[in-house]
Structure 1
């Protein structure tokens, strides 16, 4: 149970992330929702949503489109994080998010275009993989292929192509944040290090990346996750 997801704790998490000019671009809520999901505390996700929506509603001129985008970012970020933390966790988190979402802000149709060809999806996946890994793509991708060819095919064509490379809701850097937020509770430092750097390549600042790392780490610790390895920093 995420009984530690109090307003005071969420205040603390929000304060870690650099204040944006547009609230919906302040990715603390994205990182927090995913970290609760990956730490197997799906009941923490509605607390993040309600807190963020209440915060947003305090601002003048907030519209349903602003609210809808905030919810979509959390939803798509958790969906993307399922590739790392596992879809059972993502399903549980998305279910609690759905229950807490006002009906007017729920989506009823897929956001990803189901008519896209497999060639288009594969090309998008390779482009986002290259963007994330930069020069290291030439060593990481062959490594994936050598340890299991099916893994490399799945990663670049489906994982990156269908899931990660959809950037119309969660941007390139926010997708990196989703990966970081999920990886920390997984206790996989090698991949954390990859994606801390990948987030910079995808347009994040060092300050933003450090904030996402810290948000995910604090939630994992509060959730009782036993980390056997030191979490890399940037």
Structure 2
């Protein structure tokens, strides 16, 4: 009589596969209320009366670190904790994500803005482009050139020459299509806030040459050293929880 073959495998529980998938799909939320509260405290009133920059910097950094879902979690926190300012926050964060996309990648801006759009109430959403009602193209070009010069100060001509020498179309595109229509537009976030966006978008990318220029650019656009230190501190903390690794020391003033 043939012996029955012993099967060492246990019968599969039909729910096991589902449980495993659920475990994999569950992501640890990084933008927790306690973490966001700690970031908010980096901009104390003794440094600045501005109470909005902390979340602008936070949203941009999460986006560039490729955690777009945390931008949505950040806005949920603002709806709960600062509901009276939520409409303004939606506008500022959206504009900051757009501007950061030009230095950190348009796909990341698309993903972050898409996630943000899922949690912003309909009555707070912008329905027409701000820049549609902007100034003429010639005026926009002049505005962009002036913004570029103010950002880089005494070295603006050298920076432009470096871009041109690297590739002539790089210099042309930077001023014509990035600085003029987008970065120099300050009706939603100011020139100083735009410098915060640029700093916080560069820190996760480990690009010290550009970061050094925009740290100084923040000063040129009216920020204090204490404010820039707060921006850098917030961005660095978010990068750390997102697992960003740098090859060396991150540039500082």
Scaled by the length of structure 1, the TM-score of the pair is 0.91
Residue segments in structure 1 that go unaligned for 5+ positions in a row:
none
Specify the alignment match of 1:154 in structure 2.
173
Q: Distance in 2 between the 1:21 and 1:182 partners?
A: 23
For the residue of structure 1 that corresponds to 2:131, the secondary structure is coil
The residue correspondences of 1:214-229 to structure 2 (distance < 5 A) are 214-229=233-248
Deviation at 1:22, TM superposition (A): 5.5
Q: Which residue of 2 aligns with 1:130?
A: 149
**Alignment size in residue pairs:** 225
**In the alignment, is the contact (CA less than 8 A) between 2:78 and 2:86 conserved in 1?**
no
Report which structure shows greater RCO (CA 8 Å, sep ≥6).
1
Which of the numbers 206, 219, 224 marks the counterpart of 1:205? Answer: 224
Q: 1:171 to 1:139 in 2, by over 3 A?
A: same
State the TM-score, normalizing by the size of structure 2.
0.85
What is the Cα deviation at residue 116 of structure 1? 4.2
> Residue 114 of structure 1: CA displacement?
5.7
Aligned counterpart, 2:41: 15
- Verify the 8 A CA contact 1:125 1:157 in the aligned structure 2: yes
CA RMSD of superposed structures (Å): 1.5
Tell which structure's C-alpha radius of gyration is larger.
2
- Contact 1:122–1:161, Cα closer than 8 Å, also in 2: yes
Among candidates 169, 172, 194, match of residue 191 of structure 2: 172
- The answer as to whether partners of 1:2 and 1:44 remain within 8 angstroms in 2 is no
For structure 2, the 5+ residue unaligned runs are 1-26
Looking at structure 2, the residues matched to 2 and 229 of structure 1 have their Cα atoms a distance apart, in angstroms, of 28
C-alpha deviation, 1:2, in angstroms = 6.0
Q: Which residue matches 1:56? A: 82
